[in-house]
Structure 1
C-alpha cells in the first residue's frame, strides 16, 4: 500500500491540537464534577471511540492507495521554441556581464516555469541550427542553455529570417500538427535586434498565416557598446574603427505585432522577463490527445466513511458525566 500524500506538518499540528483540546476538556470536566464529589470517569469510555475516528480521519487525509485503476488523461500544452541570437554583438557588455550571459540566466529561469510544455532551442547568427529539439526534459534543456556561447555558430552578421523559417519548418514537419488537434505553437526570439538580412516579408506573411505567437525580447541598450574580441581588443568595422552595437527594437516590435505577440526588453535597468512569463501563461495550450494510464487507486473513502459513522455514534450516544 502507498500513500497519496506524505506525512507533514499539518498532520502533526492536528494531532497536537486534538491532544491539547481534549486534555483541556477532561480537566474542565473534572473541575466541574469536583464540587459534587464526582470525578467524571464516565467520560473515559468515549475516549477510545474518539481516538479511533480521529485516526481514521488522518488516514483518509493521507490517502491510502492500493490496487491499480485505469484513468483517461487528456494532455494539453504548448510547444515553445526559444530562438537565441549568438552573433558577436551578443558579447557586448552594455548589459552586465554580457548580453548573452544575462539572457541565458533569464531563459533558464523561464524554462523552469513551464515544465508541462515542450520547449526547444534554436541558435542563430546569419544561419540557424536546432540546438535542442522540442522536449519535456528540463535537465537536458538547461544543460544546452548553460553552454550557449557566440562561438557555437559561424561568425557573421545577424539575420533573423533563417531562425524564424527553421522554427516554422520544424512545426509543419511535426506530424502532430497534421493530426487533430494541434498543440499551440509559440516562439520566443531573443536578440539585440540588429538584422542585416535582406527581406523579412515572406517570413512575416508565413507567421501571420500559421497563427504562431511570437514574443520578442530585445537585449541591450540604445546607447550600445563596443564588442570585445576573444583574443583581446574590439571588433572593428570596415573603416577600421571600433564597431558599436546598439539595441534595435524597431524590427523586433514589428515582428511581435505581426505574429500576435508582444515585445519585451532586457537590460540592467529593465527586466521584462516576468511580463514575458505572464504572456506565455496566457497562451492557452490545445488538447493533444487522450491517453489511458494506470494509477494507484486512492481508497480514502473507506476510512472517511467509517470515521463519519463513529462520529455519528459519538453524537447520538450521550453520557451524563455529572450527576447532581
Structure 2
C-alpha cells in the first residue's frame, strides 16, 4: 500500500489549531427580553452574564467526529494498493515497403521453388514465375519475421499510391500484398513519387526508427519529384532507405535497372543498395535486411493502482450514521419522558 499525496496528512492537525486559535461557538439560550433590564441590574446590584452557552459534546460525539476527520484526511491522501508490474509491448519500428508494379514486373525470369511435394514425397522443381509473383512470396515470408514492427505498403507505377498505412496486423498486410497486380498503378515507373509518398506516410509515425524498402526493376520515367532530391528530404526526416533492384547490372536497353540512382538514394539516407537478380538473391537480401534492422519492440511498464478510499469512507459513514441515529433516538426518548412526567 502507498499514499499518493502523503503531505495531505498535515491536515490532521488542522482541527487542533482551529480549536486553540478560534473562540468557542456560543449558542443562545432561551431568554425573556425586558425593556427595563438595565434598571433591574442597577436595583439588584448584580453583574449581568452572557445569555449564551457553550454546549459540550458527548464523548461518543467527539470520538465520531475525530474518527471522521482522520478518515477523510486519509482519503484525501489517496491510499492505493499497488499491484504487480504490467509490461506492455508496442511496435518499435515503422517499415514501409514500396513495390514497383510497372509492366516489366510481368516478366517470367525468376525461379520460385514449389512448396508442394510431388507424388514420391520430394519437393517439385522450381518453376518460372513473374518478378511480381516471386517478390510477393518472398515479402510474405519476410513480413512474418517482422513481429514487433508496423508495416506499410506503397505501390507505384505511373504514380504512387498508399496501399496499406502502417499497421501491426501482418495478416492484413499480406492479404493486400497478395491482391496487388501489375499496371494497377500505371505502366511507367515513378520512383521519386514513391519516396515522396513514403515521407508523407512517416509524418504520422511516432517512432524514431523509420525504414523504407524500395523495390523496383526499372528506371524513373514519370516522377514529378526527382528521386535523389526526395532521398535528401527523407534523410532530413530520419528515414533510412534500402533499395532492391530486381534485375542484373549487366542488363542493357529498356529493361535496365538504374542502379546508379538506387545507390545514391541508399547512400544519402544511410541505407544500403542491393542487387536482386534472382529469387535466391532476393531471399538473401531480405535476410540481410532483417539482420541489419531487426524487428524491434518498445516495452512500457506500469504499476496498477487500486484506490482504497471507498473501504475507509464506507465504514466511516456507517459509524457516523449509527452515532447520529442513537443520539437522535436518545434525545427523543428524554423529551418524551419529560413530557410524560409533566
What TM-score do the two structures reach when normalised by structure 2?
Answer: 0.53
Secondary structure in structure 2 of the residue aligned to 1:105: helix
> Is residue 2:259 matched to residue 1:249?
yes
Structure 1 position 268, deviation (Å)? 3.0
Please name the residue that 2:191 is paired with.
160
In structure 2, C-alpha distance between the alignment counterparts of 1:90 and 1:249, rounded to whole Å = 16
- List gaps (5 residues or longer) in structure 1: 1-67, 177-181, 226-242, 295-324
Say which one has the larger Rg. Answer: 2
> Is residue 2:287 matched to residue 1:277?
yes
Aligned length in residues: 203
Structure 1 position 281, deviation (Å)? 3.6
> Is residue 2:268 matched to residue 1:258?
yes
Please name the residue that 2:319 is paired with.
none
Secondary structure in structure 1 of the residue aligned to 2:109: coil
In structure 2, C-alpha distance between the alignment counterparts of 1:152 and 1:249, rounded to whole Å = 24
Structure 1 position 69, deviation (Å)? 4.0
Please name the residue that 2:92 is paired with.
77
CA contact (8 A) 2:149 2:297 kept: no
In structure 1, C-alpha distance between the alignment counterparts of 2:109 and 2:296, rounded to whole Å = 40
Please name the residue that 1:120 is paired with.
152
In structure 2, C-alpha distance between the alignment counterparts of 1:269 and 1:76, rounded to whole Å = 29
Measured against aligned partners, the alpha-carbon deviations of 1:193-213 in whole angstroms (never above 9, x if no partner) come to 311136234312202212211
CA contact (8 A) 1:183 1:285 kept: no
CA contact (8 A) 2:152 2:166 kept: yes
What TM-score do the two structures reach when normalised by structure 1?
Answer: 0.56
In structure 2, C-alpha distance between the alignment counterparts of 1:136 and 1:247, rounded to whole Å = 32
Which of 171, 194, 201 is the matching residue for 1:170? 201
- After superposition, residues 187-202 of structure 1 pair within 5 angstroms as 187-196=212-221, 197=223, 199-202=226-229
Secondary structure in structure 1 of the residue aligned to 2:248: coil
After TM superposition, the runs of 4+ consecutive aligned structure 1 residues lying more than 6 A away are 284-287
- List gaps (5 residues or longer) in structure 2: 1-82, 111-127, 305-342
- After superposition, residues 56-95 of structure 1 pair within 5 angstroms as 69-73=84-88, 75=90, 77-95=92-110
In structure 2, C-alpha distance between the alignment counterparts of 1:148 and 1:124, rounded to whole Å = 11
Measured against aligned partners, the alpha-carbon deviations of 1:77-120 in whole angstroms (never above 9, x if no partner) come to 21000100011111122334111111111111110111111001
In structure 1, C-alpha distance between the alignment counterparts of 2:137 and 2:170, rounded to whole Å = 15
In structure 2, C-alpha distance between the alignment counterparts of 1:69 and 1:257, rounded to whole Å = 47
Secondary structure in structure 2 of the residue aligned to 1:80: strand
Higher relative contact order (CA 8 A, sep 6+): 1
Provide the alpha-carbon RMSD of the alignment.
Answer: 2.8
Q: 1:73 to 1:108 in 2, by over 3 A?
A: same
In structure 1, C-alpha distance between the alignment counterparts of 2:180 and 2:85, rounded to whole Å = 43
> Is residue 2:224 matched to residue 1:214?
no
Secondary structure in structure 2 of the residue aligned to 1:152: coil
